[in-house]
Amino acid sequence: MPLALRFAARSDVGMVRAKNDDSAYVGRYLAVVADGMGGHAGGNVASASTVLDLIHLDHGTHHGKAGTHLADEIQTANSLLSELVATNPQLAGMGTTVTAILLEDTKLQLAHIGDSRAYRLKDGVFAQITTDHTFVQRLIDEGRLRPEEAEVHPHKNVLMRVLGDVDASPELDLEEFDAEPGERWLLCSDGLNAVLNDRIVEQVMRETKDIRACVDTLVELTLAGGSPDNITIAVVEVIEADDDDAVPPASIPPARQAAGERDKPDEAAAAHGIDRNGDLPGAAIRADIIRQDLLTRPHVLVGSAALATETGQIPIVTQRSTERRAAMMLTHKADPENGDAGEDTGHETGKRRRRWIVPAFLSLMTLILVAVLGLGYTWTQTRYYVAEAENRVAIFTGVPQRVGPISLSELYEMTDIPVSNLPEYQRSQVAKTLPAAGLEEAERIVNDLRSELRAVTCDPATPATPSAAPSATAEASAGTAPAATPSAAPSATASPTPSPTAGTSGTPDPSATPTPSAAPSPRPGPSSPAIDCGGAANE
């Protein structure tokens, strides 16, 4: 048997806020709660516009496409908010959360974005169905934050997803549920959760049989707790469709406003470019069209959306959107497959086209990015540079940079030139890396460094070069008998002791002149290359 909803809703400005940015609508088949953001700039406009754009869905003949219709109309409402910002730049940055359920036959469709919530009480189980699209909830999901820590986190109110002047194609959470008579759903803005925890909410939902009393109890408890934010609650109960006596009549209850807010409707309307009749300059729709539509069916409308219909300050966007809104209001009972089929088909085609444009554009940009990165990496592999590796001069292919954990270079050839033996200037150049346009240039740089090292090693005037042993002949010419003198070279073989025959005159025998020991050539060790100085071969 087809099902319907018994419903109740209430919205309150709270104890702190100056105005009510929340809106809600409940009817026989639709329930929606929206919490506007943007403060004075237009949070109330965002929530009221969105709710009023969805109320035409409150009927039970969607031909099995209730979920698609709900998602598409929320996306369209988002587009209208963008148009509203384009025509009223002072509203830039406004947005709204949306949590909505739409019933058709025995299926219940849920659409959700933001931090308003949906709870369900079914078969004795009370559970939160939606997930908050907030920064702290993401931290909880990633295991970086405990749920109890989220309540005191400084960024607990930062939203990651909303409708409005933020994203042209917002991502909605969409789910379908089997509905049964007797189950209850609670939709609420975050003003409820700011004061009451889920345990108290569950207790009220279980113990209060009348849903109107349930709504009132939750609102009063929130106000008693200080209510730092607007509070909006909608409770619906699934019933059999022919139980007409259980459905309340149409009503638009007055919204509780902050002192002085309702006394200045003209100023509020002027702030959004709307006259007292609910029209923008050039628009051809009046608020009474929406009021007349609402009176044709049972419902409850609360919050800023109710105030807009009461005062005539309906958020209007452009000629195109106002005509569309009027058409949807006046024809919401018509068969979607007939009547204005041509217009609807064009509208659906346009929406499908818009849904494909964004993914196609993102795919194209991804392909371009991958191609650019691939070509860039290929180019880097044609480059060379000379740098230090394990205290040796080495040739690398690529460029000396990293992209995250990925190195853009690799070792091509390790030479036998120790960096520590190079002159100071060359050492600093190697430490900074020496770029080369190709392998030949890199090899030329290595050869230049090798030449610098050879010049330092083979220059006899260089202090690092071992000095020759002192001349024994020079000592003899001084009139002193040479004594046995070891070579000054640290690794040279000890000089032979001269054996001059001392005469009476003290002049040494020339034949006995000792041959001084020459300084030995340095031998290449494990950290020194064999350097060819142009003379005898290295030993």
Residue 202 tokens, joined: 């569950």
Strand partners, 388: 393
- Left, alpha or beta for 159 (phi > 0: left; psi -120 to 50: alpha)? beta
CA distances 178 to 107, 110, 127, 131, 285, Å, are 5, 11, 15, 19, 39
What six digits make up the tokens of 438?
């190709």
What is d(CA 201, CA 192) in angstroms, rounded to the nearest whole number? 9
For 259, residues 6+ apart whose C-beta sits below 8 A from its C-beta are none
pLDDT at residue 292 above 60? Answer: yes
What is the reported pLDDT for 82?
86
Q: Which pLDDT score, from 0 to 100, does residue 355 have?
A: 62
Mean pLDDT for all residues in the chain: 75
Return the axis-axis angle of helices 211-224 and 198-207, rounded to nearest 10°. 150
pLDDT band at 157 (very low <50, low <70, confident <90, very high): confident
For the ranges 46-55, 142-151, 162-171, 404-413, the maximum mean pLDDT occurs at 46-55
- Going by C-alpha positions, the residue among 341, 359, 251 that lies closest to residue 302 is 251
Q: Which of helix, strand or coil describes residue 121? A: strand
- To which residue do tokens 């020496």 refer? 434
Report the pLDDT value the prediction gives residue 330, as an integer from 0 to 100.
Answer: 45
- pLDDT class for 231, splitting at 50, 70, 90? very high
CA distance to 181, 407, 417, 441, per residue, from 435 (Å): 77, 16, 18, 9
**Cα torsion angle, 278, 284, 286, 291, sign:** negative
Beta bridge partners of 7: 236
The pLDDT value given to residue 314 = 61
d(CA 279, CA 264): 17
- At residue 154, does pLDDT exceed 60? yes
- pLDDT the model gives residue 528: 47
Q: Return the DSSP state at 112.
A: E
As a whole-number percent, the residues of the chain with pLDDT over 70 amount to 68
Between strands 299-303 and 22-27, the pairing is antiparallel
Q: Which of 517, 514, 461, 515 is nearest to 489 (CA)?
A: 517
User: Buried (b) or exposed (e) across 382-418, using 16+ Cβ within 10 A?
Assistant: ebbbbbbeeebbbbbbbbeeeeeeeebbeeebebebb
Whether 215 shows a pLDDT value over 80: the answer reads yes
Higher pLDDT, 207 or 457: 207
The CATH classification number of 3-334 equals 3.60.40.10
Is residue 83 scored above 80 in pLDDT?
yes
> What pLDDT score does 354 carry?
59
CA distance 468 to 140: 79
More confident residue, 497 or 10: 10
**DSSP letters for 181-220:** TT-EEEEE-HHHHTTS-HHHHHHHHHH--SHHHHHHHHHH
pLDDT band per the 50, 70, 90 thresholds, residue 535: very low
Express the helix, strand and coil content of the chain in percent, nearest 5 each.
35, 20, 40
Q: What average pLDDT does this structure show over 367-381?
A: 80
How far is 169 from 357, CA to CA, in rounded Å?
10
Residue 513's φ and ψ, nearest 5 degrees, are -65, 130
Number of neighbouring beta carbons within 10 Å of residue 110: 22
1-15, 95-109, 445-459, 524-538: which has the minimum mean pLDDT? 524-538
Average pLDDT over residues 1-22: 93
Q: Which residue has the tokens 């300050």?
A: 313
The reported pLDDT for the residue numbered 351 is 53
DSSP 358: H
**Alpha-carbon distance values, 126 to 89, 202, 269 (Å):** 43, 7, 42
pTM to 2 decimal places: 0.56
Residue 218 clears pLDDT 80, i.e. is over it? yes
Q: In terms of Cα–Cα distance, which of 10, 49, 54 is closest to 29?
A: 54
* Spacing of C-alpha 402 from chain mean position: 23
Summarised one tens digit per residue, pLDDT across range 235-257 is 999 999 876 545 555 444 444 44
pLDDT value, residue 282: 35
Helix (H), strand (E) at residue 71: helix 66-87
Q: Please give the pLDDT value at position 32.
A: 98
Residue found under tokens 């919204």: 255
**β partners of residue 195:** none
- Residue range 90-144, pLDDT digits in tens: 888 889 999 999 999 999 999 999 999 999 999 999 999 999 998 888 888 888 8
CA distance 454 to 533: 7
Distance of CA 52 to the CA centre of its chain: 31
Cβ–Cβ < 8 Å for 34, 97? yes
> What's the chain's Rg over C-alpha atoms?
44
Task: Show me where the domains of the chain are located.
Answer: 3-334, 384-458
Whole-number pLDDT of residue 36: 92
